Structure 1
Amino acid sequence: MNEVLTQIHGVPIRRNFVEHLPYNSHLKKLLPGKRKAGILSEVLFWKQVRARTFHNIDFDRQRIIGNYIVDFYVKTLGLIIEIDGSSHDEKEVYDGIIQTYLESLNLKIFRVTDFDIKNNLALVMKELENYIIENYGC
């Protein structure tokens, strides 16, 4: 069994580190602009998880995986958090292709809407806890 990373509500959460993820170094130059863009929902979520404030779990912001930049990534879990804003409304097929690709790398994806983060962040964080317990709990 994998090593325990943390506990959420008394449930041990096991590590699921995915090794050797593809990395397109050409995307690196885009990261500073994406981080400085200050998308409100990303900033609000980041304030909830940065510096291991969410159950002592380490989150990365704007992480390159393959030819994509994901919003947030937890490398110790192999978990991607994607915040879907209105720009995703017309991109369901494209998002589906990306999701299939990322899942083929044995990664899991937790999707949340920009609206939900702005309007019910406490519920989003509870849903994230439940998702982690369901997918990584021992």
Structure 2
Amino acid sequence: MKNFANETLIKTAKVLRKNMTDAEKKLWQGLRGEQFGVKFRRQYPYQHFVLDFVCLEKCLVIEVDGGQHAEAEVYDMHRTEVLKKAGFTVLRFWNNQVLNETSTVMEEIWRHINQEETKED
């Protein structure tokens, strides 16, 4: 899976990594360091998008959406379709889910990773 991100997008991703939302920071604490047995990357430039979190090994994208995404529903649907065509599975969570239901969100991610592993066996 080739990544064709341009230099501007790479710079944008670096800025986003330094300015993560509270929800992104909280989710990152649970994803970093291969706690699920796989490596996640944060604010990863891919094609013309910056993915909130991605596990390239599992082709899994995790997006954390704030209130601005309520107005960007059509764009988000397009983005999800592009990522699916590239072979990714996309999981979306609202900021308040990550902040208030962290264990439920982490369980869903864990379940998805394990479900994918049993398909491979």
Normalising by structure 1, what TM-score? Answer: 0.80
User: Is contact 1:21–1:66 with CA below 8 Å preserved after alignment?
Assistant: yes
Indicate the residue corresponding to 1:104 in structure 2: 85
2:39 paired residue number: 58
Shift in Å, 1:133: 3.0
* Contact 1:110–1:131 (8 Å) recurs in 2: no
Alignment of 1:1-138 (within 5 A): 19-53=1-35, 55-138=36-119
Corresponding residue pairs, total:
119
Superposition CA RMSD, Å: 1.3
Q: Point out which structure has higher relative CO (alpha carbons under 8 A, 6+ apart).
A: 1
Q: In structure 2, how many angstroms separate the alpha carbons of the residues matched to 1:115 and 1:38?
A: 15
Aligned 8 A contact 1:73 1:80 in 2: yes
Distance 1:63 1:33 in 2: 11
**Which structure carries more helix by proportion?**
2
Rg bigger for which structure? 1
Contact 1:41 1:83 in 2 (8 A): yes
Structure 1 SS opposite 2:2 = coil
Structure 2 residue ranges without an equivalent (≥5)? none
Q: Which residue identity lines up with residue 119 of structure 1 in the other structure?
A: N
Unmatched 5+ stretches in structure 1: 1-18
TM-score (norm 2): 0.90
Q: CA deviation at 1:37?
A: 1.2
CA deviation string 1:92-119 (max 9, x = no partner): 0010111111111111111111110100
Aligned residues with identical type, % of pairs: 26
Letter in 2 for 1:93: V
